[in-house]
Chain A
Amino acid sequence: MKKTPDITKPVMDRVVRFERKNTDSWQRRFIVSMAILVIITLSILWAIISVLSTEQSWSLLSIFTQDPEIIASYWRDTLWIFWQGVPQNYLLLGAIAIFLLIILWVFTGNKRKLIREKRRQLDKYV
């Protein structure tokens, strides 16, 4: 019987090259997306803290270091005033960024698992 050429290696080499490129590209895009969202979230958080510091809103919270009777009487009003000092538009943007971060993390769960498995397999393949 005539012998047919063994093409296992060339095929697997192409498969491995393809997967390396694909998984690298996916990981890069994922990391960049996460990094952008984290930077946006941290920037917003930083902006909120700056506004609160400028308006000295933090000092309002010192009431919680007072006697329990004072805390019991004023905590609601204090928190309400503190809340009023928080820049609402920044807060909304921050909430959106955190929401997007969670969505990205949750929706890429299966894909991340798949990519992790593929990378493990690629490391094994010589």
Chain B
Amino acid sequence: MYETNDRELVVAIQKGNIIAYEKLVVRYQRGLFVFVMRIVHDEAVASEVVQDALFNVYRHISRVDPERKFSTYMFEIAKNTAFSAIRSKKATVSLEEIVDIEDDEPFIEQIFRSDRIASVKLAVSHLPQKYKRVITLYYFHELSYEEVSRELHIPVNTVRTHLKRAKVALRKKLHYEENT
């Protein structure tokens, strides 16, 4: 069966065929994941990096030259995104040390994926406005740190701090509800 090549897909996307991008995502995600894993050595981070890379490529698709090899461009973006992730991960660690906030990531991730989402939403609604906005955009709208930062016009590090503090507050709230 005839399979559309990268060049045709890029041209189609540039002409507004958004759904054609799905084919490129399916085609490249595995290769990218393996490639990024070699750089970041962490499955969750690799998955996030590949998502960011694929999204960034889409955002700048109008600037992609269809005559050039798309895979080279794609892997180059993935490599840069992976190195940025490593850099920002280091920055996050040092920020956490400064603000001295405990790591509650597994607990929060768990409850956001659990069937307690209604009580989580209720607890979120009782958070202070600045934390509520960050946590809603990050978890419910699934935006990245950078996107939340752009959306709220605050620095990325502030987003991270707000998110950390929101999660601590949320954990306390949920623990309190559980015990009462």
Which residue of B is nearest A12, CB measured? B22
B25 within 8 A of A: yes
Please name all residues of chain A whose beta carbon is closer than 8 Å to the beta carbon of B142 when the two chains form the complex.
Answer: 10, 13-14
- Tell me if B50 and A7 are in contact (CB < 8 A): yes
B124 within 8 A of A: no
B33 within 8 A of A: yes
- Total B residues in contact with A, Cβ cutoff 8 Å: 23
Please name all residues of chain A whose beta carbon is closer than 8 Å to the beta carbon of B119 when the two chains form the complex.
Answer: none
Q: Which label, helix, strand, loop or mixed, suits the secondary structure of the B interface?
A: helix
Please name all residues of chain B whose beta carbon is closer than 8 Å to the beta carbon of A14 when the two chains form the complex.
Answer: 51, 55, 142
Chain A interface size, under 10 / 10 to 19 / 20 to 34 / 35 or more: 20 to 34
B163 within 8 A of A: no
The winner among A4, A13, A16 for most chain B CB atoms within 10 A is A4
- Tell me if B55 and A15 are in contact (CB < 8 A): yes
- Tell me if A4 and B59 are in contact (CB < 8 A): no
B91 within 8 A of A: no
Q: What 18 additional pairs, Cβ within 8 angstroms, besides A121-B19, A125-B19?
A: A4-B30, A5-B33, A5-B43, A7-B29, A7-B33, A8-B25, A8-B29, A10-B51, A11-B54, A11-B58, A12-B21, A13-B142, A14-B55, A15-B58, A19-B18, A114-B15, A114-B16, A116-B16
| 12 residue pairs bridging A and B, Cβ less than 8 Å apart | A4-B30, A5-B33, A6-B29, A7-B33, A14-B55, A15-B21, A18-B55, A18-B59, A114-B16, A118-B16, A118-B18, A121-B18
Chain A interface (Cβ within 8 Å of chain B)? 4-8, 10-19, 113-118, 120-122, 124-125
